[in-house]
Structure formats: structure tokens, C-alpha cells
Amino acid sequence: MGEAREVMDRLTDAVTTHADLKVISELYAEDAVAFTPDEGELRGRDSIVEYWRAMTEAVPEATFQSLHSYEVGDTAIDEGIFSGRNTGPLELPNGETLPPTQKEIRIRGVDIATVKDGRIVDYRLYFDEMDFLGQLGLLPDEPF
């Protein structure tokens, strides 16, 4: 197992099984860049840690079931299922905060992390945001 795989596995653990913002912070370079479907581009460690803070508070006992994991050079790639119950407030990209829905979620996604000198410098997260919002009951009943 190479450095990228080890760092990605530690990030997954710090976001799910053993949620720990300090560990998450240590895993990202100060000038890291991340892209997410719900927040778009995040620049800098502090912005990225804030993203994970909101997610770990919204779904505090999340799990990750790995379906595929790869390492190519300095990059680790995971496909898996993030699941849990929304028992904490949900922060929306527009700044609003919604109360917990208490609904179970099960979202398939892909994470890609490029690592330099033991820290993530480029991170990409892909998941179906409409599926996520639908499972939380936050979409209108009528089609658009």
C-alpha cells in the first residue's frame, strides 16, 4: 500500500467510523483544493475541514462501504456507499440550516485524492446530490 492509499483510508475513517476533525485537518495540505457536488470548489485546508465538520455533524454515525479502491501513483480513488442517519443540522450551500430529518441515507459516491508529502493537495468528491436530497425528504413531491 502506498502513501496515497494510506492517506485516503485515514480520511475515510476520520469522516465516518472515528469522526475526527483534527485528523481531517492533518491530512490536507494548507493550500489544498477540493471539489464537491454541493459546495463546488473549496480552497484551503480550513474550508475543506469546515465542509467535513458540517457533514460529520449532519450524519454523525456515518459508515462507508468500499466497493472499489485503487491507487495510481500519488492518487487514491474510492467508490463506495456512504450511509447513516441525519440526526444533526444540515447546512445548505446558501447558508440556511435545516433541522435534522432523522432519515436514513445511502449514497453511492466516488472520492479521488492526490497526495504530496503525506497530505492531500487535490480532492474530488462525486455523488448524486438529488438522490441525497430526495432521501432526506427535501425535494418537492411534484416533479419540476
Q: DSSP per residue over 27-93, as a string?
A: HEEEEEEEEETTTEEEESHHHHHHHHHHHHHHSTT-EEEEEEEEEETTEEEEEEEEEEE--S-EE-T
pLDDT tens-place string over residues 49-93:
999 999 999 999 999 999 999 999 999 999 999 999 999 999 887
Return the axis-axis angle of helices 3-15 and 45-58, rounded to nearest 10°: 40
Answer whether 0.85 is exceeded by the pTM: yes
State CA 128 to chain mean position distance. 12
Strand 104-116 to strand 119-127: parallel, antiparallel, or no bridges (unpaired)?
antiparallel
User: Rounded to whole angstroms, how far apart are CA atoms 67 and 10?
Assistant: 17
List pLDDT tens digits, range 105-122: 999 999 999 999 999 999
**Structure confidence by residue, pLDDT tens digits, 7-43:** 999 999 999 999 999 999 999 999 999 999 999 999 9
Provide the sign of the torsion angle of the four alpha carbons 95, 98, 99, 102, taken in this order.
negative
Cα gap 11→125, rounded to integer Å = 13
Dihedral of the alpha carbons of 138, 100, 111, 17, in degrees to the nearest 10: -150
